[in-house]
Amino acid sequence: MRESFYRWRKIKSGLVSALCLLCAVLVIAPLGLVFFHLLREGASAVNWSFFTNLPKPVGEIGGGMANAIVGTFELLGIAALIGVPTGVLGGVYLAEYGSVRVNWLLRFICDILNGVPSIIWGIVVYGLIVVPVKSFSALAGGVALGFIMIPLIVRMSEEVLLLVPNGYREAALALGIARWKMTLHIVLKTALKGLVTGVLLALARVAGETAPLLFTAFGNRFWNHNLHDPIAALPLQIFAYAISPYDDWHRQAWAGALVLVSMTFLVNVAVRFLTRSRSAALAK
Amino acid sequence: MKNVMEHESTISADTAALHAMTDAEQSPAIAFEVNDLSVWYGQKQTIFNTTIDIPAQSVTAIIGPSGCGKSTFLRCLNRMHELVPTARHEGSIRLFGEDLYAPKIDPCVVRRRIGMVFQKSNPFPTMSIAENVIVGLRLNGVRDRAYLDERMEKALRMAALWDEVKNDLNRPGISLSGGQQQRLCIARAVAVEPEIILMDEPCSALDPIATAKVEELIYELKKQYTIVIVTHNMQQAGRCSDYTAFFYLGRLIEFAKTEKIFTNPSQKQTEDYITGRFG
Ligand SMILES: Nc1ncnc2c1ncn2[C@@H]1O[C@H](COP(=O)(O)OP(=O)(O)OP(=O)(O)O)[C@@H](O)[C@H]1O
Ligand SMILES: [Mg+2]
């Protein structure tokens, strides 16, 4: 009697363990598959000319995505200029100043905005900038990405700022330091690593956005450093090449995807590194 | 350890001498005149109609059981309780005759005149020892490097920390031991040269040796500053204070010379608390 009860318990425990393992594998498998597939299909096309050349006209073999890579960074730069100050200041307001009721409303709005499909942002900016100016532009693309970043960064920086113990705020105020100076020199400085982490994650998140760029940055086969003209971006180029009928372009699309995924991967590794040294410093 | 004991006995001997002196004089100058102070957190009242005159250039201890409103009272003295959004008060507090809550008074200025040391030491984690000490001056607009260095050394000496840290002023403040961190916080508070220093259980996380150092320091600081200290430690109140206020359930029960409170209290509740019958 006792014996069988024991066996049944062991079987149950084994079953549940196996189930957990299966789920873990299911979670990790897509990442492995994606990387494996990207490497197999794209690695051969990732070479020096991929990073330095412009796309070749249809039919010619070779060429690269130099303009799209640089374009992605330009778009991220514009997005950061809009999203980082606005987002961080919004987070500062929520964590340091706002009243209970206003904060509730702001958080609610941010959470809704975070759930808005990114293509909607493209349409919004299309209406706001592209239509009045009558031209797709790098500026419009950057603004669309920036808009996506704002609610992300507001929520992340609020959480990071709330992690700063209240004792530091009180200590600073008890010295007769003005509130805004306390926020700037004590709270933001203490939370700096967390804020950088949040910003990097938000940048990594929008770096791969394609839909909001379709109606805004539009894409460009050539170099463009003028904010008022359409600009190339990696996700757009990947999209354009992937739906084309040419084998060489397909290879290049794989290569572009590999580069994009590697970039986000590197950012995530950097973030891990930053947060690790932060928790080590706090543990002291 | 022996040294510490010796110190303590000299301190109490000196305190006694000082009591004798002030006894001979007429009533000392008043720092805080608190008149009919009541404090609420939301609907809940935590301080009831307290009237008390806290003398200048001396140490006043505030004792009483946990939750009786000692911290709340202390934080009213430098307007720190205003940081709690639900907090509200009635009654007046004057510092050397000036109303601290007058509409034209800036709370920052009040807090610059009235420094505070907290129960849990809290040096700023991003700053070195030196930066921690001068941060109050620097963020209040003092730029002169030489002057800042001078004030830093002076403050660290006052906090009896200079000899222990003078060779590594650039180490992070949080790399010090708990007792050193608390003295660093005291140095940070005295560096802005306030007129008053409020201490909320400054020794509750310290070992006896560090406690003795802080008490010695309080004794030193008394020469220049008015000190109000909250403590749960009866011996500490007896050792280092000139006056003692006993709070119970948000009311000031008794306020008198420390000797009197400890030897001959006029209220039954005070006696019960001091002899350990409740609290
Ligand atoms: N921020 C706050 N919000 C609401 N109520 C508070 C707040 N701070 C204190 N109180 C309440 O006010 C009362 C007095 O608290 P206070 O911290 O002044 O007590 P205390 O005498 O310092 O106690 P202790 O010796 O434990 O530090 C307590 O009942 C407490 O619950
Ligand atoms: Mg308290």
- Answer yes or no: is pLDDT of B13 > 50: no
More confident residue, A23 or B9: A23
- pLDDT number for residue B4: 43
Query: Has residue B20 got a pLDDT over 60?
Result: no
- Average pLDDT of chain A to the nearest whole number: 91
pLDDT of B207 above 50? yes
Mean pLDDT of B84-113: 93
Tens of pLDDT, residues B135-162: 999 999 999 999 999 999 999 998 889 9
Q: CATH number of the domain at B30-121+196-274, please?
A: 3.40.50.300
B156: CA distance to ligand 2 center in Å?
A: 26
Domains in chain A (CATH in brackets) are: 67-283 (1.10.3720.10)
Place of tokens 């140095």: B187
What confidence score (pLDDT) does residue A278 get? 53
Lowest mean per-residue pLDDT among A167-171, A218-222, B24-28, B30-34:
B24-28
B31/chain A closest Cα distance in angstroms: 18
- Which of B139, B185, B188, B200 should be substituted to probe chain A, the one whose Cβ sees the most A Cβ atoms within 10 Å? B139
Q: Is A196 on the interface with B (CB under 8 A)?
A: no
Q: Which residues of B touch A171 (CB under 8 A)?
A: 118, 122, 124, 185, 188
Question: What percent of chain A stands above pLDDT 70?
Answer: 97
Q: Left if phi > 0, otherwise alpha if psi is -120 to 50, otherwise beta: which for A143? A: alpha
Condensed to tens digits (0 to 9), the pLDDT of residues A157-184 reads: 999 999 999 999 999 999 999 999 999 9
The CA distance from A282 to A274, in Å, is 13
Residue with tokens 């990097």: A200
pLDDT of A185: 94
Q: Distance from the CA of B5 to the center of ligand 2, in angstroms?
A: 28
Chain-chain contact of A190 with B174 (C-beta, under 8 angstroms): no
pLDDT band at B7 (very low <50, low <70, confident <90, very high): very low
* Nearest residue in chain A measured CA to CA from B126: A190
Nearest beta carbon to residue B122 from set A171, A177, A281 = A171
What's the B77 CA to ligand 2 centre distance in angstroms? Answer: 14
Chain B CB contacts of A168 below 8 Å: 122, 124-125
Listed by start position, the domains of chain B span 30-121+196-274
pLDDT at B179: 86
The pLDDT of residue A44 is 87
In this predicted model, what pLDDT tens digit does every residue of A85-126 receive, in sequence order? 999 999 999 999 988 899 999 999 999 999 999 999 999 999
Tell me what the pLDDT averaged over chain B comes to: 88
At residue A5, the pLDDT reads 83
Chain B residues closer than 8 Å to A167 by CB: 118, 120, 122
Contacts of B78 in chain A (CB under 8 A): 174
Ligand 2 centroid distance, CA of B94 (Å): 22
Q: How confident is the model at residue B26 (pLDDT cuts 50, 70, 90)?
A: low
Predicted pLDDT of residue A284: 38
- Determine the average pLDDT of the residues in B43-56: 95
